[in-house]
Each structure stands twice: as structure tokens, then as C-alpha cells.
Amino acid sequence: MEEQWVDDHAGPVVRPYAVTRGRARPVTGTFDLISLVTAIQSDVTPEAGLGPEHLAIVGLCQRMQSVAEIAAHLDLPVGTIRVLLGDLVARNLVQVREPRATGGLPDDSIFEAVINGLRAL
């Protein structure tokens, strides 16, 4: 009987673990889902420690992409993408722009709009 490496509900069982070499956290950065990633170099040659997924991220990020978009395009879990992005940032191959934090509560006009919208229902 052939061994099954894909779970019907969860998808690939081993692949994300193998892609990150067992790492669950990036070497640098935290990478929000809406963090924007841009490649710094357009032509990256395979080198020690970079797998095909790393190269795919650099290729994909020639145009700015969010972390969520990268995960969707490569069909990999977001946690795996975060680990790979940490590798690429450490090698100065990609630049990551974190989302700006809002300076507290929104102004009153937003609350008024929400209240008016609820009343209209």
C-alpha cells in the first residue's frame, strides 16, 4: 500500500515543514497579513539556503504583494511564507513595509456614519 502524504482535509502534511526546515518562526520580522513585500533585486541566483519557494517569492514580488497574496499565489500557509520572508529580509533580497498603526480611535464622523447606517436598517 502506498504511503499517503496528503490529508484529504488539511492538504500536504509534510511540505510546509520541509520547506522551512522545521522552523516555525522567521529569523527576523513578524509580517502582518497586509504587510507589503517588494523585491530589492530582480535577478536572484540560487544559492545555499535558498529553495525554490524563496526564488518564487522574489519573482512574485517584482510587483508589490501583500503577505496574504504571496501565500495565496504559492498555495502555502501564511506561517510558512512568514518564515521564508524572514530569510529573504535577512539576505536583503526583499523589503517589507508594515501597515501603519492608526493613532487611536477614529474620529466622530465614522461613528456617526455607522449609527446612521444602523438606523437606516
Residue with cell 496528503: 6
- Contact predicate 11/77, CB 8 Å: no
pLDDT mean across residues, the chain = 81
Cα(96)–Cα(87) distance, integer angstroms: 12
pLDDT (tens digit, 9 = 90+) per residue, 32-69? 889 999 999 888 877 777 888 999 999 999 999 999 99
Of all residues in the chain, what percent carry a pLDDT higher than 70?
80
How do the residues of the chain divide into helix, strand and coil, expressed in percent and rounded to 5? 40, 10, 50
Give me the pLDDT at residue 56, please: 93
Domain boundaries, the chain: 18-120
Least Cα distance to 33 among 113, 99, 100, 109 occurs for: 99
Identify the band that residue 10 occupies on the pLDDT scale cut at 50, 70 and 90.
Answer: low
Span of 56-60, 80-84, 112-116 with lowest mean pLDDT: 112-116
Give the mean model confidence (pLDDT) for residues 77-94. 92
CATH architecture of the region 18-120:
Orthogonal Bundle (1.10)
Give the mean model confidence (pLDDT) for residues 24-39. 85
